[in-house]
Structure 1
Amino acid sequence: MRDASAQELLLLSALQECRIQLTAARNDALASADLRHELEAALRREEHLKTELVQERERTEAVRLVLHALAKSIGWLGLRRRLFLSRIARLGRETPDSGPQAVRHDVLLAESRRVLGVTPPTG
C-alpha cells in the first residue's frame, strides 16, 4: 500500500511538472507568434517608408528641375515664358509614366503653374 501511494505521488508530481512545461511551451509559442506579427508589421512599415522616401526624393528632384528650367529661361528682359514652357513640356515628356519617377509629373505641373502665376483649377 505504501509503495502505491509513493508511486501515485511520483506520478502526480511528474504530471504536474509536465503541465507546467506545457503551459510554459504554450506561452513561449504565443509570445513567438506575437513577436512574429510585430516583426512582419515592422517590415511592412519599413517597406512603406522606403517607398515614401524614394517618392519624396523624386518630388525634390522635380522641384530642382523646375528651378533649373526657370533659371535657364530668364533673359535680360525677364522670364521667357515660351522657353520655360517648352523646357517643362520636354521634362514632362522625358519623365516616365510609371515607377517612382512618375510622381514628378504632378510636381512639374504644380510648380510650373506657380512660377507662371497661374492658379490651379479647383475641384
Structure 2
Amino acid sequence: MRDASAQELLLLSALQECRIQLDAARMDQARRDAVRGDLEDALRREAALKDELVRERERTEAVRLVLRAFAASVGRFGLRRRLFLSRIARLGRETPDAGPQAARHQVLLEEARHVLGAPLPAEAAPESRR
C-alpha cells in the first residue's frame, strides 16, 4: 500500500506540474494573441497614415499648381483673370477623378477662389481643417 500511495503522490505531483505548465502556456498564448492584435492595429494605422500622407502631398502639389498658374497669369497690369481661370480649368481636366490625385480637385477650386477673392459656397466650404 505504501508504494501505491507514493506512486499516487508522484502522479498527482506530475499532474500538478502539467497543469502549471498548461496554464503558463495559455498565458503565453494570450499574450501572443494580444501582441498580434496590437500589431495588426498598428499596421492598419500605418496604412491609414500612409494614405493620408499621400493625400496631403497631392493637396500640397495642388497648391503649388495654383501658385504657378497665378504667377504665370500675372502681367504688367495685374492678374489676367481669364488666363488664370483657363489654366485652372486645364489643371482640373488633367487631374484624375480617382485615386490619390483626385484630392487635388477640391484644393484647386478652393485656392483658385481664394486667389480671385470669391467666397466659397456654403455647401463647398471645407469643414474644420487640421
TM-score under structure 2 length normalisation: 0.93
1:10-39 deviation line (CA, Å, top 9, x unaligned): 001000000001100110111111111101
Separation in 2 of the partners of 1:75 and 1:7?
A: 103
Indicate the SS of the match to 1:122.
coil
Q: Which portions of structure 1, spanning 4 or more consecutive aligned residues, are displaced by more than 4 angstroms?
A: none
Which residues of structure 1 form unaligned runs of 5+? none
1:1-123 pair list within 5 angstroms: 1-123=1-123
- Alignment coverage as a number of residue pairs: 123
Which residues of structure 2 form unaligned runs of 5+? 124-130
Separation in 1 of the partners of 2:7 and 2:14?
A: 10
Partner residue in 1 for 2:127: none
Indicate the SS of the match to 2:98.
coil
When the two chains are superposed, the root-mean-square deviation of aligned CA atoms in Å is: 0.5
Percent identity over the alignment?
73
Separation in 1 of the partners of 2:119 and 2:86?
A: 19
The Cα of 1:60 is off from its aligned counterpart by: 0.2
The Cα of 1:5 is off from its aligned counterpart by: 1.2
The Cα of 1:122 is off from its aligned counterpart by: 1.0
* AA in 2 matched with 1:49: L
Separation in 2 of the partners of 1:58 and 1:121?
A: 23
